[in-house]
Amino acid sequence: MKFFMDTANVEAIRKYAALGMVDGITTNPTIIARSGRNHEQVIRDISAAIAGPVSVEGIGQTAEEIVKEAEVFSKWGNNIVIKVAMNEEGLRAVRILSGKGLKTNVTLVFSASQALLAAKAGATYVSPFVGRLDDAGVDGMQLIRDIMDIYKNYGFKTEVIVASVRSTKHVEEAAKAGAHIATIPDKVFAEMWKHPLTDKGIAQFLDDHARSKSNK
């Protein structure tokens, strides 16, 4: 299973990449705006900080507008993936971009039908949003299981990125469903190695070790 980070925080990316845990990055316009930095600059910095794929959203009302943005963004690094929102124009854009040899990530996916279309269009990745579905009272993780089943039935090569991750539970469930990737916000990443019983155990071992070392 691959771990992507869902962030534009370059410091956090460097920190977790040093642990060997970061296989790629996803961003969206909201994440970039939240960073308070210039769009191009932050993407260039992220692209330079990590070898894996970096998803950047191509915004446009038509496929041609999206493709035009994609052509600019893809010059900002050699690992840029173009994120394309799921709709009719988005699907057309994915076809054009795939034809040009550019990698794509179809985003804002909330149904198995949408995921099926993304795969048929030749998307490299598809991003179903589990957290936003949960927020709307729908079981987001069931969608992941359904997509994995459908992709296996037909041998689609599109990789499933579990997106809109809110908790470590989401990451665990994504792994159980066999999803290729979970894209994880830095806050959730930092919770993954924590457990109160681990902290308690470490404190006790430190204490006991110090005591036994001082035994004559």
Task: Kindly state the smallest distance separating residue 128's Cβ from ligand E4P, in Å.
Answer: 10
Contact 23, 4 (CB under 8 A): yes
Of 119 and 163, nearer to ligand E4P (C-beta) is 163
Chosen residue from 15, 103, 132, 145 binding ligand E4P by CB under 6 A: 132
Beta-carbon contacts of 47 under 8 Å, excluding residues fewer than 6 positions away, are: 54, 76, 77, 78, 79, 80
Among residue numbers 153 through 182, which ones bind ligand E4P (CB under 6 A)?
Answer: 163-164
Where does residue 122 fall: left (phi above 0), alpha (psi -120 to 50 degrees), or beta otherwise? Answer: left
If one asks whether residue 23 binds ligand E4P (CB under 6 A), the answer comes out as no
Helix pair 112-121, 140-154: axis angle to 10 deg: 40
Of 47 and 183, nearer to ligand E4P (C-beta) is 183
Q: CA-CA distance, 59 to 82, in Å (whole number)?
A: 10
End-to-end CA distance of the chain: 49
- Active-site choice (83, 103, 176, 213): 83
Of 26 and 74, nearer to ligand E4P (C-beta) is 26
- Give catalytic status of residue 83 as yes or no: yes
Facing residues of 83 across strands? 57, 105
Task: Kindly state the smallest distance separating residue 8's Cβ from ligand E4P, in Å.
Answer: 11
Chosen residue from 6, 45, 159, 173 binding ligand E4P by CB under 6 A: 6
Q: Interface mask (CB under 6 A) for ligand E4P, residues 100-129, using x and -?
A: -------x-------------------x-x
- Determine which helix (DSSP H) or strand (DSSP E) holds 2, and give its type and residue range: strand 2-6
Chosen residue from 26, 74, 124, 158 binding ligand E4P by CB under 6 A: 26
Give the residue at shortest CB distance from ligand E4P. Answer: 164
Helix, strand or coil for residue 185? coil
At position 173, the amino acid (one-letter code) is E
Task: Kindly state the smallest distance separating residue 107's Cβ from ligand E4P, in Å.
Answer: 6
Token duo for residue 137 = 């009272």
Find the angle CA(17)-CA(18)-CA(24) to the nearest 5 degrees: 10
Of 124 and 164, nearer to ligand E4P (C-beta) is 164
| DSSP state for residue 58 in the 8-state scheme | P
- Catalytic positions are 83
Interface positions with ligand E4P (CB under 6 A): 6, 26, 28, 107, 127, 129, 131-132, 163-164, 183
